[in-house]
Structure 1
Amino acid sequence: MSIEKILENELCTGCGACISEDKSKTAKMVWNDSNFLVPKLTELSTSNEMYSVCPFNPNLKNEDALGKIFFQRTSGNYNDRIGFYGGLYAGYSNKYRETSSSGGIATYIFEKIINNKIADHLFIVQESCDGFEYKLCSDIEDIRKISKTRYMPVTLEKLFTEIDNINGKVAVSGVSCFVKAIRLKQEKNPNLKEKIPFVVGIICGGLKSKYYTDFLAQSAGCNSDYSSVQYRVKNVESFALDYKFSCKEKDNGRIHMIDMLSLGDMWGTGLFKSNACDFCDDVMNELADISLGDAWIDPYDKSGSGNSIVITRSQLAETLINHGIDNEELILDKISLEMVIQSQSGSFNHRHKGLAYRIKKFKNKDLIKKRERFISEQSIIFNLVQSQRMQTREKSLSYWINNPDYSEFNKLMHPLLVKLKIYNKLNHMQQKLVKLFKNKLGAK
């Protein structure tokens, strides 16, 4: 097995950690045909070494093993769905809620990391001339300007190729696969544990192709080059899901905006999503010091201002959160494990329950080794949903590649999405009937 096999089977998420392991230093990250970032190798590239830090390498330690190494001694609790944890919270930052996509907790943590000298720099996603990219950031004012969600492919490539030349410690934020790559790098090179003392994990619903942003821009009426993309423009008078996408047309500076609810379900359908995400079983970013996501649960989802789910895993993360609560900088409620899991119920249903079917249909099963407790057989109707989602994901990319016009794209995708909607309704009906039947049996 090698990095080439990962690429051939579309299991690369573009983390870029492998680039720093190329002894020839000839590999680099490039955009592929589907507009995802992937490594491009040369004849000189040392593929086996690169494979040694790939988060999708089935022969390396999984999230359970890595979680024990990094958090077993510092976390007081463990759950087989969310991993090791200390505290569970929901709420927001008083200071950063207004300027953030959800509750502003990430920006608050970033500020404290710098102010408390936990790290000297942050390696976080910022806007660039070509969209977004990871950049080194050390100024609090800069941090405050970039507290927004980004649904654009990015890569950690520069972190590991340049980290030896960076003076001081670096804190990093990332999605699950990126965080796993960081932990694999730290396991291989223990010096990186001190160099990267804190990792902020973003709970991820799946990585999107750059074509996703092109689609949103066209849907908003922008048919030329754009910049200043905002994926989550809040409506504070409404509820959490009622937000807009906006971008600025480069030619004339005009702002284009569209209600995301008018476009339908962009996540449950798998539109423009990476294939690799269908084989990720880490829903809650189990290897980060602190995991942050949207609080999609009652009553927190009723506020258009936004709320965050917070899972602390390291003692340092728990200390930062408790200090914020004590100083009334953070408005957080302690919540139950059940509420945390419920906040990402859609992701758990898809990633865990649908895993067995997707593995069964995967052409190269030797590349897939997932935790057995998440692999279970499901009903025929549930599997029909998974099959249709796989088709929807694949077709959304191929249709856009062949004809990047949102109007034509919508026409082509319509029958696929209608079919998926029907299967989802049947699945929900079946679930209700099963629940009703179990309740009746329990009452006897």
Structure 2
Amino acid sequence: MNIESVIKNNLCTGCGACISEDENKQAKMIWDENGFLVPQLGVNSTQEKMISVCPFAPEQKNEDELGELFLKDRTENYNSKLGYYTNLYAGYAKQFRETSSSGGIATYVFKRLLEEKIVDHLFIVKEKNGEYSYQFFSNFQDITKISKTRYVPVTMVELFEKISTTDGKVAVSGVACFVKAIRLKQYYYPELKEKIPFVVGIICGGLKSKYYTDFLAQSAGCFSDYQNAEYRVKNKESFALDYKFSCVEKNTNKIHMVEMKTLGDMWGTGLFKSNACDFCDDVVTELADISLGDAWIDPYDKSGLGNSIVITRSLLADKIIKSGLVECDLVLDELLESKVLQSQQGSFNHRHNGLKVRVELASSNEKLFPPKRNKFLIDQGFLLNQIQVLRAKTRGNSLSFWKATQNVSLFNKRMKSSLVKLKIYTLINRYLTKYSTKKGVKK
């Protein structure tokens, strides 16, 4: 497998690490037909070197191996699903909760990293002229401007193009595959360990195509150019899952909004998701210094303002969190491993329990896939396997149908059959699970 085959098999997530490894500087990132950022190669692009830092490459070090190299000596605990960690928490940051997607912990950590001179710059996703992209950021006075989740494809190309000429140290945030790419760069270029001393991992339910935002905008009633997309407009009087999408129509400055719960399950169905995400077995960004995600467990999911799951994976990360507790900037409870696992149970069920059948499905269709950790290649029953097959079909249909229609009404009509079938199988599985649990019988 080379970079070209990674792209052709829809295994690229657009991290952009490979671009910096093209010795002839011919490769660049472009939008593909499915609405994802991928490398466009030149005639003489050095693919053998580029593949070395690809998180989905064959014969690549896996998360267990990289975790042992980067975190084992910097932390205290280990769990086969959570990876290496120091402590586990759930809660929020007082100052940034209302302006953040969940509990505001990421914004708090970024602020402390700058204030305490642990780093001189952040490399994080920010809005610029109505678009979202990774940018260097050094002024914590504007920190609240970057505290929202953005479900748009971005790339880290600029980080690796400029890191060697950037004065000072840089902290980076990213989803699991992006974090793995950073660790691979640090593995091959040890000097980057000092240059990038802190990585914030964002627990991810799957990368979405840029078409996802177009779908949401049209669902909100906006059928012309828009800007300022907000993916989680909170309802502080309600619960965590009760939020809206909003955008601003460019021509009229009219704000369009839609309640996300009226659109169905955007995550369990895999709508607009990257194919590569179905071959990611890192649920909780195992290679970051600190991992942050939504606390989808009782009682934390009952608050419309949101709460975060916090996994500290280095002593430095835990020191930052404990300082926030002492100074009363953070409101956090310590959690057991079982509660953290429960908070992301849906993702563990899909990415771990369903991984083997997706690998087998790809193999039967003569599609390439990256090698995965054997401990997550689990046998399931027929019904659960069928759900995985239907999810894969639904995911693929969502991208092809949107490209064909570019219209939310036509898209919904064409997707109805796939979604209804998937919903029926899912409901049957839930019923059988409840029945088996009630009777004390394992399925």
TM-score range, shorter chain: over 0.9
C-alpha distance in 2, partners of 1:266/1:38? 23
C-alpha distance in 2, partners of 1:205/1:439? 30
Letter in 1 for 2:51: Y
Query: 2:43 matched to 1:46?
Result: no
Q: Which residue of 2 aligns with 1:351?
A: 351
Contact 2:212 2:272 in 1 (8 A): yes
Superposition pairs of residues 421-436 of structure 1, within 5 angstroms: 421-436=423-438
Question: Offset of 1:384 from its aligned partner?
Answer: 1.1
Superposition pairs of residues 394-409 of structure 1, within 5 angstroms: 394-409=396-411
Q: Which residue of 2 aligns with 1:164?
A: 164
Letter in 1 for 2:329: E
Q: Which residue of 1 aligns with 2:101?
A: 101
Q: Which residue of 2 aligns with 1:117?
A: 117
C-alpha distance in 1, partners of 2:56/2:2? 11
What TM-score results when the alignment is normalised by the length of structure 1?
A: 0.98
Question: Offset of 1:299 from its aligned partner?
Answer: 0.2
Contact 2:2 2:51 in 1 (8 A): yes
Letter in 2 for 1:224: S
Once structures 1 and 2 are overlaid, which stretch shifts more, 11-20 or 142-151?
142-151
Residue deviations 1:79-125 (CA, integer Å, cap 9, x gap)? 00010000100000010001101000000000000000010000000
C-alpha distance in 1, partners of 2:366/2:290? 34
Contact 1:16 1:39 in 2 (8 A): yes
Question: Offset of 1:435 from its aligned partner?
Answer: 2.6
Question: Offset of 1:368 from its aligned partner?
Answer: 2.4
Contact 1:26 1:41 in 2 (8 A): yes
Q: Which residue of 2 aligns with 1:371?
A: 373
C-alpha distance in 2, partners of 1:401/1:413? 13
Contact 1:131 1:152 in 2 (8 A): no
Letter in 2 for 1:199: V
Superposition pairs of residues 27-426 of structure 1, within 5 angstroms: 27-129=27-129, 131-362=131-362, 363-364=365-366, 367-426=369-428
Unaligned runs of 5+ in 1: none
Q: CA RMSD in A?
A: 1.2
Question: Offset of 1:439 from its aligned partner?
Answer: 5.6
Question: Offset of 1:35 from its aligned partner?
Answer: 0.7
Contact 2:101 2:232 in 1 (8 A): yes
Contact 2:6 2:12 in 1 (8 A): yes
Letter in 1 for 2:376: F
| Count of aligned pairs between the two proteins | 441
C-alpha distance in 2, partners of 1:70/1:24? 30
Contact 2:436 2:442 in 1 (8 A): no
C-alpha distance in 2, partners of 1:140/1:407? 43
Contact 1:9 1:364 in 2 (8 A): no
Q: Secondary structure at the match of 1:73?
A: helix
C-alpha distance in 1, partners of 2:436/2:9? 37
Contact 1:359 1:365 in 2 (8 A): no
Question: Offset of 1:357 from its aligned partner?
Answer: 0.5
C-alpha distance in 1, partners of 2:334/2:215? 39
Contact 2:229 2:246 in 1 (8 A): yes
C-alpha distance in 1, partners of 2:358/2:245? 31
Letter in 2 for 1:43: V
C-alpha distance in 1, partners of 2:218/2:49? 41
Letter in 2 for 1:9: N
% identical aligned pairs: 60
C-alpha distance in 1, partners of 2:377/2:104? 35
C-alpha distance in 1, partners of 2:442/2:208? 43
Q: Secondary structure at the match of 2:45?
A: coil
Contact 1:293 1:309 in 2 (8 A): yes
C-alpha distance in 2, partners of 1:300/1:312? 19
Residue deviations 1:299-332 (CA, integer Å, cap 9, x gap)? 0000001000000001100000000001100000
C-alpha distance in 1, partners of 2:269/2:44? 40
Residue deviations 1:399-432 (CA, integer Å, cap 9, x gap)? 0001100011011111111111000011112222
Contact 2:15 2:178 in 1 (8 A): yes
What TM-score results when the alignment is normalised by the length of structure 2?
A: 0.98
Letter in 1 for 2:280: C
C-alpha distance in 2, partners of 1:129/1:425? 43
Unaligned runs of 5+ in 2: none
Letter in 2 for 1:128: K
Once structures 1 and 2 are overlaid, which stretch shifts more, 389-398 or 142-151?
142-151
Residue deviations 1:216-255 (CA, integer Å, cap 9, x gap)? 0000011111111100000000000000000001111111
C-alpha distance in 2, partners of 1:284/1:260? 24
C-alpha distance in 2, partners of 1:119/1:440? 51
Question: Offset of 1:72 from its aligned partner?
Answer: 0.7
Letter in 2 for 1:154: V
Q: Secondary structure at the match of 2:306?
A: coil
What stretches of structure 1 move > 3 A for 4+ residues in a row?
A: 363-367, 436-441
Letter in 1 for 2:305: S
C-alpha distance in 2, partners of 1:378/1:265? 23
Contact 2:22 2:49 in 1 (8 A): yes
Question: Offset of 1:383 from its aligned partner?
Answer: 0.9
Letter in 2 for 1:387: V
C-alpha distance in 2, partners of 1:35/1:301? 32
Contact 2:130 2:228 in 1 (8 A): no
C-alpha distance in 2, partners of 1:302/1:271? 26
Question: Offset of 1:130 from its aligned partner?
Answer: 6.0
